[in-house]
């Protein structure tokens, strides 16, 4: 029984619609999404629009995404704080 429950949980973590609905309720739900969805820029943008502090919890590799962070910083200059240190010199 518990393996079926865990299997269903894993399926839900990979379902973009479920993750977006969860983020709408609580942007920090992003930390429970599958690794692929945690790297999905549209998911990150939805969470960011709910609460900028979710940028503390995104994968480090995403914090090096210059294109994404240029958009985020344009929308809210405080996003610069969460940018990868090496990228900060390049922005």
For residue 7, what pLDDT band results from cuts at 50, 70 and 90?
Answer: low
Does residue 8 or residue 17 have the better pLDDT?
17
- Spell out a b/e string for 38-76, using b for 16 or more CB atoms within 10 Å of the CB, else e: bebeebbebbbebebebbeebeeebbebeebbeebbeee
Give the Å distances, CA to CA, from 62 to 16, 17, 32, 85: 18, 21, 16, 12
What is this structure's pTM? 0.83
Confidence of residue 8 (pLDDT cuts 50, 70, 90): low
SS3 content of the chain, % helix, strand, coil (to 5): 80, 0, 20
Q: For residue range 12-34, list pLDDT tens digits in order.
A: 899 999 999 999 999 999 999 99
- pLDDT, one tens digit per residue, over 33-84 is 999 999 999 999 999 999 999 999 999 999 999 999 999 999 999 999 999 9
């Amino acid at each position: 029984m518990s393996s079926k429950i865990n299997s269903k949980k894993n399926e839900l973590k990979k379902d973009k619609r479920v993750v977006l609905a969860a983020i709408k309720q609580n942007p920090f739900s992003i930390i429970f999404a599958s690794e692929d969805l945690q790297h999905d820029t549209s998911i990150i943008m939805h969470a960011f629009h709910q609460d900028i502090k979710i940028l503390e919890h995104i994968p480090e590799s995403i914090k090096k995404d210059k294109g994404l962070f240029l958009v985020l910083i344009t929308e809210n200059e405080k996003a610069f704080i969460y940018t990868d240190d090496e990228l900060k010199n390049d922005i």
